[in-house]
Structure 1
Amino acid sequence: MRFTQAELQQFRDRTVPDLLPDPLRLLFIGINPGLWTAATGAHFARRGNRFYPALQRAGLTRHLIDASDGYKAEDLAELHARGIGISNLVPRATARADELTAEELAAAPARLDALVAAHAPAVVAVLGVTAYRQAFGRPKAALGEQETPWPGTRLFVARRKLSPG
C-alpha cells in the first residue's frame, strides 16, 4: 500500500481505534497517531517503524508484525494472545507531534487514567519522554520507571523511537 502526501492529508484529524485486548497486560502509549497510521488503521504502521521489530527482539511477540498495510488477522491474534495493547496520549492524527495543542496534551492524563481504570494493565509504557513531561506536568521526568497513581500498574517512559537492536 502506498499513499501520496495529498492522500495522507485526507486522514489528518482522524482517530484510530485503541487496541485493547482482554486481558490487557502491557499497554503501549504513543504520542498520537501519524497520518499513515490513520490511513491504514494500524498503530505504528509507517514503513520502517521500529516498534514491531523491537517487540519481536524483546520476545514480546513470536513473529515480526508488519502493520504497514494494516493489521493481518494473525498479527491481531498475536497481540491479543500476548495481552499487548496500544493507545495514544492524544487520539487525533497529525503529520507531526508538534501539531498537537497544549490543551490536547493536558487532557492526556485523564484519558490514560480512564484506560487504566477500565482495563487494569500490569504495565503501561509511554513512548516519548518529552510528550510525557508536557502531558503529565513532570518537566524533569527521565526515561525509565515512574511513580504511578494506579495501584497494581507499573508505569515506564521509553524512547519514542526504539533503537534498532
Structure 2
Amino acid sequence: MTALTPGDELPPTLPHYLRPGLRIVFVGYNPAIYSAAAGHYYARPGNVFWRQLNASGLLTRVCGPEDDAMLMDEAGIGFTDLCPRPTVRAEELTTAEIAEGAARLYRELIESAPRYAVFSGKGIYQHFARHALGVPAAALAGRPYGAQPERLSRDGTPPAASGTVPYVVPSSSGLASKWHAERQTFLAVLAELLRDGAGSTQR
C-alpha cells in the first residue's frame, strides 16, 4: 500500500481526535500512507502501537486501530499528529510544514488541555518544543524519555509552571524495534502516574 508512483493521489489525512477533558493525547509525526488509506491511526500491522497500548494498563478492553475515535469517550485518549500530510517517510516533510504543524499542534493542545501529550519519538517533541515553545536545540539535546520539564499553559504563554505534561516515548514503528521494550516500560509508567493522580493540569 505504500508503493506510490509519480502521479498517484495521496490518501486523505486522518481526523484529529481531540476534546477537553482527555487524559492522554498521542502525538505522531504524520500519518503513514498505510494508516491514512485505512482511515485509522497506527493501522500498519508491523506497528506495535496497539499491541503495546493494550498491554500498558491504560485500557479496560482490547482495542485496535478501528477503535481510535471511540477511545476519547471510552478511555479519555485522543490522537493527533505534528503534520497532517501523509508520507512514506517523515523525512519527506518540509521545514515549513513542521513549523506550521508545531504551531497548530500547540493551539490544539492548549484548547483540549489533556493531562499528558504523549509524543511518539524524541524528534517529534524536539520539533514541537523548538518551534512552538521556543526551547533552544541545545536545551533539548540528550533529553531522556518520559515526562519533560516544559508545561503547556492554558493562558497561551509558553512555557508554564503547570498545564499539560509533554511525555516522550520511543516510536512504535517497526523500524524502531530496538526501543520497543523501553517504550512499553514508559507506557506502563504513564499508566501508573495516571492511577496515582500525578501530572495534573491543575484545572
TM-score by length of 2: 0.68
**Are residue 134 (structure 1) and residue 127 (structure 2) matched?**
yes
- The number of aligned residues is 156
Q: Structure 1 vs Structure 2: percent identity of aligned residues?
A: 31
Assess, with a 3 A threshold, how the Cα gap between structure 1 residues 4 and 157 changes in structure 2: closer, same or farther.
Answer: closer
Residue 178 of structure 2 corresponds to residue 158 of structure 1:
no
Q: 1:4, 1:92 → 2: CA distance?
A: 14
More helix by proportion, 1 or 2? 2
- Measure the CA separation in 2 of the matches of 1:112 and 1:56: 26
Listed as ranges, the gaps of 5+ residues in structure 1 are none
After superposition, the C-alpha distances for 1:28-66 in whole angstroms (9 at most, x for unaligned) are 100000001110110111112111111111111223323
1:21 to partner: Cα distance:
4.9
Letter in 1 for 2:147: E
**Quick one: distance in 2 between partners of 1:155 and 1:115?**
13
Map of 1:90 onto structure 2: 83
- What secondary structure does 1:113 align onto? helix
Q: Distance in 2 between matches of 1:6 and 1:109?
A: 27
Cα separation, partners in 2 of 1:148 and 1:23, compared to 1, 3 Å = closer
Task: Identify unmatched segments of 5+ residues in structure 2.
Answer: 131-136, 154-161, 173-178, 185-203
- What whole-Å deviation, never above 9, does each CA across 1:125-153 have from its counterpart, x for those lacking one? 11110232234323414322111232321
Q: Verify the 8 A CA contact 1:21 1:83 in the aligned structure 2.
A: no
Q: Distance in 1 between matches of 2:120 and 2:76?
A: 18
State how far apart, in whole Å, the 1-side matches of 2:107 and 2:58 are: 25
Is this contact kept in 1: 2:28–2:119, CA < 8 A?
A: yes
Q: For the structure 1 residues 145 and 4, does the alpha-carbon distance in structure 2 shift closer, same or farther, using more than 3 Å as the test? A: closer
Deviation at 1:22, TM superposition (A): 5.2
SS at match of 2:80: strand
In the alignment, the residues of structure 2 paired with residue 65 and residue 136 of structure 1 have an alpha-carbon distance, to the nearest angstrom, of 31
Q: CA RMSD in A?
A: 2.3
Per the alignment, residue 11 of structure 1 pairs with: 10
| Structure-2 separation of matches of 1:65 and 1:10 | 30
> Which of 29, 54, 63 is the equivalent residue of 2:61?
63
CA distance in 2: counterparts of 1:4 and 1:15, whole angstroms: 15
Under a length normalisation based on structure 1, what TM-score does the superposition of the two structures give?
0.81
Q: Which has the higher contact order (CA 8 A, sep 6+)?
A: 1
Structure 1 residue identity aligned to 2:31: P
Give the deviation of 1:79 after TM superposition. 4.6
User: How many Å apart are 1:11 and its aligned residue?
Assistant: 2.6
Aligned counterpart for 1:110 among listed residues 103, 107, 112: 103
| Cα pair 2:2 2:33 within 8 Å, conserved | no
